[in-house]
Structure 1
Amino acid sequence: MSQTYLINGERAALNKRIVVCTGEKGGTGKSIVARFLLDMYLANLIHVVAYDCDSNNPQLWRHYNRVVNGGVKTIKFNQHGVNEILKNDLQQLSPTVALMDLPSGVGDYFKDFVQDVQSSSLGYRITMVSVLGRVKDSVIQLKRLIEVCGNQVDYVVVRNLYWGEDEKAFIKYNSSKTRQSVLELGAIEVDFLPIVDRVIDRIDSLDAGFTEAVNYEGIEVSVMGRLTAWIPKNESELIKAGLFLRLEGAKSRNYQTLKQVII
């Protein structure tokens, strides 16, 4: 039997999730984390519906629209009626995960969004994936997220190590009251390991997903080698938050399985 949360007097199953990737501060790396999560859902055959809400930089749509059943949907998070669009999809498609990649600057809409999802009684629990850079603004935006959502959602805090892998890189977060607050709410912290820019640039040139790029005919050996080392490391990190990301039971892949799985 699935674990459940008691929400507004009703039980919401943990095995159905709306996973929202947000950073509020532009440039933190939330879109690459969203892409990586979608790659994992597809590789693990998890029924996922994906939404790219960043019309200025629709990375999720560009890299995965061809390989997601039904395509990646493009919507504006702050447009009128977006909550009804989402609820209709959840009701009709009943995905295990609804993954949303948000643009910065939409934090004011979180309260209504969370309340709408809860009142719909569709059995979904929201996970906020907050991707941090090293600047203070990342911590401030996480603080605002907590103030708006409180214990109505679950939190996964992602330290994007592209901005530095030593303790000093995230000292503003690590020593903050915001960290204490989010951990008291049950947050799970994970690190997202970087990969050299030229590999990301090569994937961007192909408009490919990460697993797709590993198996791309003609991909350079050096690019494939770095990807097949990088992907399992980040899978291992994100699996730490498996309960909140609906990745319970998932395993990080190795070179052989990456070469065998074509998304």
Structure 2
Amino acid sequence: MSTIHFVGGEKGGVGKSVVSRLLSQYFLDNGLLYAGFDADQSHATLTHYYPEFTQPIVLDDFESIDQLIEMASEDDEKQLLVDLPAQSQRFLDRWLEDSGVLEMCDELGVNTLFWYVVDGGRDSVMLLRTFAQKYGALMPCVVVRNHGCGSDFSDIDQVVAEAAAPRLLAVVDIPELHVGTLHRIDKLALSFWSAINQKSSTGAQLSMMERQRTKVWLRKASQSIEVALQRL
């Protein structure tokens, strides 16, 4: 059974693209058939780090986003991931509602899963509450507490506890990666696999300890991802 993964959170700067990159690396490391879709036309982050697996998609163009369903309905079991930009929920809502996407996925035997990334800030709290009210009973979702962008998630936890969201599968934590290490990975445009394994005579690589920190961080993040996927 194929799964369409939406990675969002509506608020900018909460680390949605980092979570998309982590999921991409998880799928590839586990030998799963995977395709990424970059919906951010101004900052194509997923395309930048995983170009051989990623293609652009336009959320407000039904013909463009319809390809998700076409690909998911094929025989091979795939993991299809959509990296959503900030302030894009209204476009996704329109496609889901006008096209009856969730009902069609149920008929086709296609899973959907929304990874909702939060930083614990006031805007993130309010947006999560709105999302849970709309989709908490309609679509499986995972709340991702990104410790690289926030540290106090008590208000997020309260929203989760109060939400009537029977399809909330899990609340998972992504640990913080040392800021300097993440900046170097980004500067060198490395996938997380390359960050750990690539060695270059030109200096386009991480130091030994940077590679070690990235390896530990990736392992912890992958464990969180696995917990959520086991509940799907």
Measured against the shorter chain, the TM-score band is 0.7 to 0.9
Seen in structure 2, the aligned counterparts of structure 1 residues 145 and 34 have a Cα distance that, compared at 3 Å, is same
Kindly report which structure 2 residues correspond to 1:1-263, keeping only aligned pairs within 5 A, or say none: 15-66=1-52, 68=53, 72-92=54-74, 94-114=76-96, 115-119=100-104, 121-165=107-151, 169-176=152-159, 178-181=160-163, 184-218=166-200, 219=205, 220-243=207-230
Matches of 1:236 and 1:163 in 2, distance apart?
Answer: 19
Matches of 1:175 and 1:91 in 2, distance apart?
Answer: 37
Structure 1 residue ranges, 4+ long, deviating more than 6 angstroms after superposition? none
Aligned residue identity for 1:38: S
How big is the alpha-carbon RMSD for the aligned residues of Structure 1 and Structure 2? 2.1
Matches of 1:238 and 1:16 in 2, distance apart?
Answer: 17
Partner of 1:249: none
Please identify, of 148-157 and 74-83, the stretch whose mean Cα deviation from structure 2 is larger.
74-83
CA deviation map 1:11-44 (0-9, x unaligned): xxxx421110001000011110010000000010
Contact 2:140/2:169 (CA < 8 Å) preserved in 1? Answer: yes
1:217 deviation in Å? 1.1
> Structure 2: any 5+ residue segments left out of the alignment?
none
CA deviation map 1:64-122 (0-9, x unaligned): 113x3xxx011121224233222223234744211110011122233443322432633
Aligned residue identity for 2:229: G
1:182 deviation in Å? 5.6
Matches of 2:111 and 2:169 in 1, distance apart?
Answer: 14
Contact 1:78/1:106 (CA < 8 Å) preserved in 2? Answer: no
1:159 deviation in Å? 0.5
CA deviation map 1:125-147 (0-9, x unaligned): 21110000121111221222223
Please identify, of 183-192 and 107-116, the stretch whose mean Cα deviation from structure 2 is larger.
107-116
Seen in structure 2, the aligned counterparts of structure 1 residues 61 and 109 have a Cα distance that, compared at 3 Å, is same
SS at match of 1:191: strand
Contact 2:5/2:112 (CA < 8 Å) preserved in 1? Answer: yes
Matches of 1:110 and 1:146 in 2, distance apart?
Answer: 15
Aligned residue identity for 1:241: A
Count of residue correspondences: 223
SS at match of 1:157: strand
CA deviation map 1:149-168 (0-9, x unaligned): 24221010000112344xxx
Aligned-pair identity (%) = 24
SS at match of 2:73: helix
Aligned residue identity for 2:78: T
Provide TM-score, normalisation by structure 2.
0.87
Seen in structure 2, the aligned counterparts of structure 1 residues 100 and 106 have a Cα distance that, compared at 3 Å, is same
SS at match of 2:168: coil
Contact 2:32/2:79 (CA < 8 Å) preserved in 1? Answer: yes
Contact 2:17/2:45 (CA < 8 Å) preserved in 1? Answer: yes
